[in-house]
Amino acid sequence: MIYPQPDQKRIVFLFSDTGGGHRSAAEAIIEAIQLEYPGRTNCEMVDVFRHYTPMPLKFAPEVYPPLSRFPEMWGLGYHMSDGLRRTRFFYKTIWPYVRRSMNRFVNEHPCDLIVSVHPLISAPVLRAMGDHKIPFVIVVTDMVSTHAAWYQDKADYIIVPTEEARTRAHRNGIDPEKVQVVGLPVAERFCQPVGDKKALKERLGWPKDLPVVLLVGGGDGMGPLEEVSKAINDRLLPAALVVVTGRNRKLKMDLESRKWDIPVYVYGFVREMPEFMRAADILVTKAGPGTISEAFIAGLPVILYSRMPGQEDGNVDFVLKEGAGVWAPNPDQTAEAVRLWLEHPNERERVQENCQRLARPQAARQIARILANQIQLERP
């Protein structure tokens, strides 16, 4: 429950920790609202699966990480469920099971605006709202391959990150007047100017006269980080390698104990990722929408080594089509892509320019202004 001051607007954000992108998107928007309209709102994030669904749905945050380790199974489920009729049938089927908890959510969270950043939550909450005239906005946090569940015609407004997502919205029956392309919301700390790379490398303790390859696998250190780092090292490339293992402590210890032939820096979970991106010269990552958007803002060329089938397939196509990176789905291909960019810096600079062209550093603030318009919120 949120307890705003009398002159504050109350905004509830619907999310769930099924993947880090939903939480980070909500947090970025809330941060932008507070920067644009200081003291004018009281924002609350509600993990609807965790707190407002019955078993086994309430354990979705725990189920997601192990399920994501079987990408082909995930992709099959994604494609089988993706479709306007299929999603409607799904929600109609589960409604008797979740009706009581959804009604409880609506009763316990009176507010001026609801913002959903999760594809599976919007439909049941909208149904529970019934005739309540509370503005409801959906912020789509997948980049290109957006599931039909995102597109609910009862929502007042749907904000999407790309033109491809706008097209998907129209194909799923959404009034074009309700849809706006803004970009993916990214935290303010990722939106600062790149500045002096050499000075930043020196401050981070990295070689300032070598290109830096930044290898990441998300907060949980997923993907073939060990194999990719070994393949890059074995080529004796003229570069430093920075590996971020996230919460994967075993991987961090394994990499730290290894003998390397090039400068290698191993980190666990870090909060300096914005600085890492601004200091690095090449990013090697899975095709997550948030990381790709952050890389665009940093002007950081991208080598994609894996993707989640279904929701991230389009991200790979988008990066390739726009000339912002390459697809290298095994360690040897990844290391070869790094070698080619190191040997051909002009090509790398061309890709960097394409990244900068695609960057939308103001997306979170623009979304904040759209939300403010929904509730007639003015700056103090």
Please choose, from the candidates 89, 18, 27, 83, the residue with its C-alpha nearest in 3D space to the C-alpha of residue 48.
18
How is residue 256 written in tokens? 């730290």
> What is the pTM for the complete model shown?
0.92
Length of the chain in terms of residues written = 380
Q: How confident is the model at residue 345, as a pLDDT? A: 93
Instruction: Say if residue 2's pLDDT is above 70.
Output: no
Angle at 67 between CA 63 and CA 68, to 5 degrees: 120
The whole-number pLDDT of residue 54 equals: 86
153-169 tens-digit pLDDT: 999 999 999 999 999 99
Architecture of domain 189-358 in this structure = 3-Layer(aba) Sandwich (3.40)
Tell me the pLDDT band of 379, cut-offs 50, 70 and 90.
Answer: confident
Please give the Cα distance from 329 to 324 (Å, whole number). Answer: 16
CA–CA separation, 206 and 198 (whole Å): 9
Listed in sequence order, the residues at least 6 apart from 177 whose beta carbon sits closer than 8 Å to its beta carbon are none
Can you give the pLDDT at residue 222?
66
Q: Amino acid letter at 202?
A: E
Q: Residues 141, 13: contact at Cβ < 8 Å?
A: no
Host H or E run for residue 368: helix 363-374
Answer yes or no: is pLDDT of 70 > 80: no
CATH 3.20.20.70 fits 9-186+361-374, yes or no: no
Tokens at 267, concatenated: 């980190």
- Whether the per-residue pLDDT at 183 is higher than 70: the answer is yes
Measure the CA–CA gap between 328 and 306, rounded to whole angstroms.
8
Segment 171-179 long-range contacts (CB within 8 Å, at least 24 positions apart): 172/84, 172/148, 173/84
How far, in Å, CA of 105 to CA of 102, rounded? 5
Question: Rounded CA gap, 324 and 300, in Å?
Answer: 9
* pLDDT at res. 69: 74
Q: Which tokens in the block code for residue 251?
A: 């991987």
Averaged confidence pLDDT in the chain: 92
Q: Where in the chain is the domain with CATH 3.40.50.2000?
A: 9-186+361-374, 189-358
Q: In which band, very low, low, confident or very high, does the pLDDT at 106 lie, cut at 50, 70 and 90?
A: very high
Per-residue burial over 317-348, b = 16 or more CB atoms within 10 Å of its CB, e = otherwise: bbbeeeebbbbbeebebbbbbbbebbeeeeeb
pLDDT, tens digit, 9 for 90 and up, residues 297-329? 999 999 999 988 888 999 999 999 999 999 999
Mean pLDDT of 339-347: 96
User: For residue 256, with 0-12 CB atoms within 10 Å meaning exposed, 13-18 middle and 19 or more buried, which class applies?
Assistant: middle
